[in-house]
A and B are shown apart, each in its own frame.
Chain A
Amino acid sequence: MAQEVKDVAAETAETTASNEKAMKRGTVLQALKAIAVLVVICLVCGALLALCNDIFYISPEERARREEAKINAALKEVYPELSNPETVTINKQYAANAMYGSVKKVVRSEDGVYIIAAEGIGGYGGSITVLVVIGSDAKIINWKISDVGGETYANDVSKHQGEWYIGEQISTDIALIKHGGATMTSTALNNAIKMASYYAMNVLNLGSNPQKDAEDAIAALLADTDYADYTFAVNSDLKYRAALSDENNAMSYFFVGSKEGASETLDAYVYNVETEAKVVILKGNLGYTARHEQDAVIAKSEDIADELVTKVQDLNYYEFKIHGYLEDFRLAQYIAITDGWDTDDARINSVCVGEDGAYVVNATGKGGFASGTVTVNVVIKDGVIADLNVESHESQSYLSDHILNIWDTFKMLFVSNGIDTKFDTTPPVDEGSTPGHTGATYSENAIIRAVNYACEYVKSLTEQGGTN
């Protein structure tokens, strides 16, 4: 009995093992079948798609033709008078602007009207492409959104086509027209208009363009051989180059500077003393997408530019003045004397130190009695008076008549003398003494006192071991 039970148990175990094996085999087979079916379906579908791809193939020429037709239809829609449209090659230098966007296509109509397809930056990475029609009088004739890009409210803004910006003069300062609920899209539209304006002003020569004028001014300035040119650094990371021109008796200078480390680049700054015109030109990718950040960068750049002007305005002014009698003078340091060096006889106003170690001392001498003053520039080089020049004079009626007429002879009394020389003042006429060299004793005295004091100042500097 026990043996039978054992046999049955063994038989059952064997059957179970066999079933499990078969089940496993069945499962594997099922899986293989599933994979095979899936693979076959994929292959058949792939073959079908390959066939369809061949049937519905669109050649590159056909694609180009379609694209062209689409663009032409859009152009015709935005400017119905379009005739013989001619695609203008895009000038890559002005085809993109970090603040506004980019220009994708420029078409010229036979009547001189341009249609510019400009992409305007909106917000949060969105942009729209706008066809902007600009007349030969640099006014906006029409616009149309051709591609809504990532801006979802383009339809709202499109409603104002034929209303907004129409008839306005192209400008990169064209005012934003805000549309409630579609602020980003209206910003993108405004930027597209600005981008088209920017391109039209710079490349198509439409309208007035202060930036281009400024760039032209820089080019003209650089082309002119008669300008001072020097490079120096305000601090370690802010370097710039300045040039000075005295053309038409107007001092103008520009800076080409950069703040190292990226996006805050001030490429050029033009300043004209007479007109006080200044233009900040920003180029290159500012690396910001948000409008308020770009505005901040521009404001900062303008601040830097203003700071530069303040710092070098005096330097350039004095250098400019010195150029009148010392052409190759290159200013290294300007010292404004605000206290001290002021006596009853004379005072030192300022000192310009040249790169070659020459001193140009601006000194004022007092004539004596109730007379006025004479201000001179004394050039001292290597401890010797190299030149002398009258800058201004006050209440010295004899000066122009007597001294200036014989200036070249008169100044030789001082030139080539060392700074240790003490020039004697001629005793005043009213004190009963003999007349002076020129017959203009008060003026002469004023000049002598100024020269003496200038020499004394330079001597003190030399004794101290150089400029302070």
Chain B
Amino acid sequence: MILYLCKRLLMMLPMLLGITLVSFAVIQLAPGSPSDLMVDMNPQVSDLARERLHKFYGLDKPVLEQYWNWLKNLAALDFGQSFAPDGRPVWDKIVERLPITVSINVLSLLLTFLVALPLGVYSAVHRGSWLDKGITIFVFIGFAAPTFWLALLAMMLFGVHLGWLPISGIQAMNHDALSWGGKAADYASHLFLPVLLSSFVSLAGLSRYMRSNMLEVIAQDYITTARAKGLRERAVICRHALRNALMPVITILGLSVPGLIGGSVIFESVFAIPGMGKLFYDGVMARDYPLIMGCLVLGAGLTLLGNLLADIGYALADPRVRREGR
């Protein structure tokens, strides 16, 4: 098992290197450069200023040299400094946005699992019933409706008409003056709608997945055996069927890990949440290379890690995988 782990970890390095190389190349291919935003279409900019800015960002050097410098810094876990005028370290920028993005994503992932799994199981067990059909329609509405539109409707109802919840942002203006409990309540009321909505839109995928897995398992011989030996239906479903049907869900969990740090630009813009999605999007629009690379490396690292975790989860759950690895 340890050997298997080491092998997998070693395999990740060249993969990560490849990802950074491709990302770096692709960013360079995008038209425009970081200094454009400062100088283009600005009548007050002279050629001299343009050149200076170019040099300032190290853009006068060959691309390979730029990549090499970036890589050297990365080896020392230095993500470099943002090209934005504030010139702050990329890592600081990411770190200040991570908590809010991760908490929203973790909460909504939990909520999604909590709701989608029972829905899926129920649909499978009562396949073809009216409730099954109702659930299907419900989750697909969430899947099909544009998030920003749902969000605006929810804001209008809860924020403007009923006045129960704040509309946007993550904290009230008097947040700092609140007690510890008040702060928690403040966060909760601000995060309620974003978490609820982002779970709602991802219900469909997971519940459908759960439903089809469950159907597959129920059709297996060992379920028939379990029933034949006189087990109660409840025990058959919960103990025998569910456990096996959950196996592939581990993969989904693993694949969700990189999603935890990613945010949706549209979603964050609508709720005015200062999250990773907006940070990355603005970085791309401003051609802020170090920031883009920082986000990409983090995402790539987490994707690889997620895959690894999923595999480990598999290995733990399924002895066959363990043996193959040896």
Q: Do A and B bind each other?
A: no
